[in-house]
Structure 1
Amino acid sequence: MRRLQQQEPEVAQGEIEEEEVVSGVAEGDEVMEDADDGREYSSSTPTSTLTWISWFCALPGHEYFCEVSEDFIEDDFNLTGLNAMVPFWKEAMEMVLDVEPDEDAPKIPDVSIVEASAELLYGLVHQRYILTRAGLQAMIDKYDGGSFGSCPRVYCNGCNIVPCGRSDLPGLDTVKLYCPNCNDIYTPPSSRFQGVDGAFFGTTFPHLFFQSYREIAPAPFYRPPSGSSSSMSGRSSGSPQHSQEGRHTAFVNPNPHGGQKPAAGGVYQPKIYGFKVSERAKCGPRMQWMRLRPWSPEELDEVDSRGRWIDDDEEYEDEQEEEGEDKQMGEFDNVGIL
């Protein structure tokens, strides 16, 4: 009897422990459910804050775009004249700004039409935004990060480039890339940029960009390294003063209005068995003078607007006088007659 009495409390104590364990697991399950609910809520929060502008700039092929602030788009002064160029103006504006449309407004059956109008609207606004101080600052950050790529020309030595267009009107040409070193434009290397309109960047942006940030613009003059046989200008190659000056000194541009970065002035010279091909030959180099740069900033003042030396010939003044004289009507009588 004593043994049985002693075993009963032990059994009762064991049952109590099992109940505590079961109840403890149940409470833990409730805590885990609460934690899971919190995790799900935190993971869904970033996706809900994604705006249409951020989504548009993150699409493949839109790496050249910067995010335009909504304050700039909401200002009517910045949208002057665009309502006549963009169809479904109101619906496109609501889509770009993530504004819910009115319930009473008539619904458009095909949403893709509004999406095309929203893309056109944002592109034209983007063309104006990148000309402002905030827009230029956003593009300089992308330029420093190499988002636009580098010039494909070998003698530009990997100079960074910026996007541009050949027209300010949409639908005429795709986006191009402008190199400040060779002053030429190129087609983007990837085919995903062929669907980007060049008017979304315009013809003014690249030149205003390098005028605003002169420290990254190449200088207009270039001195070849010592021992180089290439001549950058007709006078510099024969001038003795250039050979006497040191060519390994640090680059300092005395003109604060010009580019403040050393330029890459190499020019390709065609050769056959080590001999230069003459420009008069059929296979000779053409328009090579467009790549040449003067050796010093002083030589920039020695040429006219056409790139000719001012005091080369005495006929220079005669040519100016002939250009200034009005031609008589008799000289135009037979023009255009077959």
Structure 2
Amino acid sequence: MDELSSGSSDYAASTWIAWFLSTKGNEYFCEIDEDYILDRFNLTGLNSEVHHYLYALDLITDALDENISDSNRDQIETQARILYGLIHARYVVTTRGLAKMLDKFKRADFGRCPRVLCYQQPLLPVGLSDIPFQSPVRLYCPRCEDLYRPKSSRHCAIDGAFFGSSLPHMLLMVYPHMIPTKTTVIPPPVPRTQRQYGGVSADALHQRALALERKSGHALSGEETDCMGVASDHSTEPTVPPNVRIERVVPRIFGFPIHETSRLMAWQERKHEQQMTKIAEFHRRKLDTV
């Protein structure tokens, strides 16, 4: 309640939803239309999942009695946050909700993929479960189709059920032009003459490497040399043990997983098994050499 007390003037002057969205840590949420909240059909079943449901709903719609004690108001405030999150999960898969989430997606409000070959691809929030209090929110990259944890500790505490397991796939189905291309386009490399290593140009260092090769009397067959004349191995060793299953997203539409025989699921499973086989083979060879 520290944030509530510190911003009491804003809270009194504005609506509860506006205050909630302006609170630090709630940047992932979009504003739910009041008409959607007031339509009780959209809230079917939520009364059994939220304590003090009617009071929490009144607080969200700014209809709560001002004479409620502070202790009760704290409890209602907590339940109002949960109720708003559960309504939010339903709202974001509507036409209006998808449009608002698309705007946030274009602005990269949810962050960008940390992988180099994804080229700063914006991320989308997704829940691993539609049941509250099961798992926190994860960020889905449409390009590499992997999941990531939010960078901020505030965002890591958000329940994944407040976004649902269908949001990324519904958004990309409704707006197919937002699906990133899978073709890898490598950006042009920086010319070697423009690189600097400790104040010495890359060309000068490369000449030193060639001189060292000639002096040693042999060339590095089939391998590239780095700027110091040392063989550079660009292959990255897998570090994940073969018995560890990587957390991955299962495409869902309205909470139902896509049929396993679909082309997308078959491609994902095939690539996943190939990668796990490579990792297991690497660890087997590593143990044999010990």
**TM-score bin, normalised by smaller chain:** 0.5 to 0.7
Task: Check 1:109–1:207 CA distance in 2 against 1; reply closer, same or farther (3 A cut).
Answer: same
Task: Check 1:283–1:207 CA distance in 2 against 1; reply closer, same or farther (3 A cut).
Answer: closer
User: 2: distance between equivalents of 1:305 and 1:170?
Assistant: 26
User: 2: distance between equivalents of 1:152 and 1:206?
Assistant: 18
Alpha-carbon contact 2:57-2:80 (below 8 Å) kept: yes
Paired residue secondary structure (2:46):
coil
User: 1: distance between equivalents of 2:264 and 2:175?
Assistant: 26
User: 1: distance between equivalents of 2:85 and 2:264?
Assistant: 39
Report the residue type matching 1:170 in the other structure.
Answer: P
Task: Check 1:185–1:144 CA distance in 2 against 1; reply closer, same or farther (3 A cut).
Answer: same
Report the residue type matching 2:38 in the other structure.
Answer: E
Task: Check 1:304–1:121 CA distance in 2 against 1; reply closer, same or farther (3 A cut).
Answer: closer
Q: Superposition pairs for residues 77-88 of structure 1, below 5 Å?
A: 77-88=41-52
Scaled by the length of structure 2, what TM-score is found?
Answer: 0.61
* Corresponding residue number in structure 2 for 1:92: 56
1:123 aligns with 2:81: no
* Corresponding residue number in structure 1 for 2:21: 57
Shift of 1:305: 6.5
Alpha-carbon contact 1:277-1:285 (below 8 Å) kept: no
Cα deviation 1:48-70 (Å, max 9, x = unaligned): 55100010011101000001011
The alignment covers a number of residue pairs equal to 203
Q: Which runs of 5+ in 2 are unaligned?
A: 1-8, 190-229, 249-262, 269-290
User: 2: distance between equivalents of 1:156 and 1:166?
Assistant: 22
Shift of 1:74: 0.8
* Corresponding residue number in structure 2 for 1:171: 133
* Corresponding residue number in structure 2 for 1:25: none
Task: Check 1:117–1:207 CA distance in 2 against 1; reply closer, same or farther (3 A cut).
Answer: same
Cα deviation 1:295-327 (Å, max 9, x = unaligned): xxxxxxxx897449xxxxxxxxxxxxxxxxxxx
User: 2: distance between equivalents of 1:127 and 1:139?
Assistant: 11
* Corresponding residue number in structure 1 for 2:178: 216
Q: Superposition pairs for residues 235-250 of structure 1, below 5 Å?
A: none
1:70 aligns with 2:28: no
Alpha-carbon contact 1:165-1:200 (below 8 Å) kept: yes
Shift of 1:46: 8.3
Alpha-carbon contact 1:277-1:284 (below 8 Å) kept: no
Cα deviation 1:248-304 (Å, max 9, x = unaligned): xxxxxxxxxxxxxxxxxxxxxxxx9345659xx8879989xx9xxxxxxxxxxxx89
* Corresponding residue number in structure 2 for 1:334: none
Report the residue type matching 2:183 in the other structure.
Answer: Y
Q: Superposition pairs for residues 93-242 of structure 1, below 5 Å?
A: 93-101=57-65, 109-219=71-181, 221-222=182-183
Shift of 1:213: 1.2
Q: Which runs of 5+ in 1 are unaligned?
A: 1-44, 229-271, 291-302, 309-338
User: 1: distance between equivalents of 2:88 and 2:17?
Assistant: 11
Shift of 1:194: 2.2
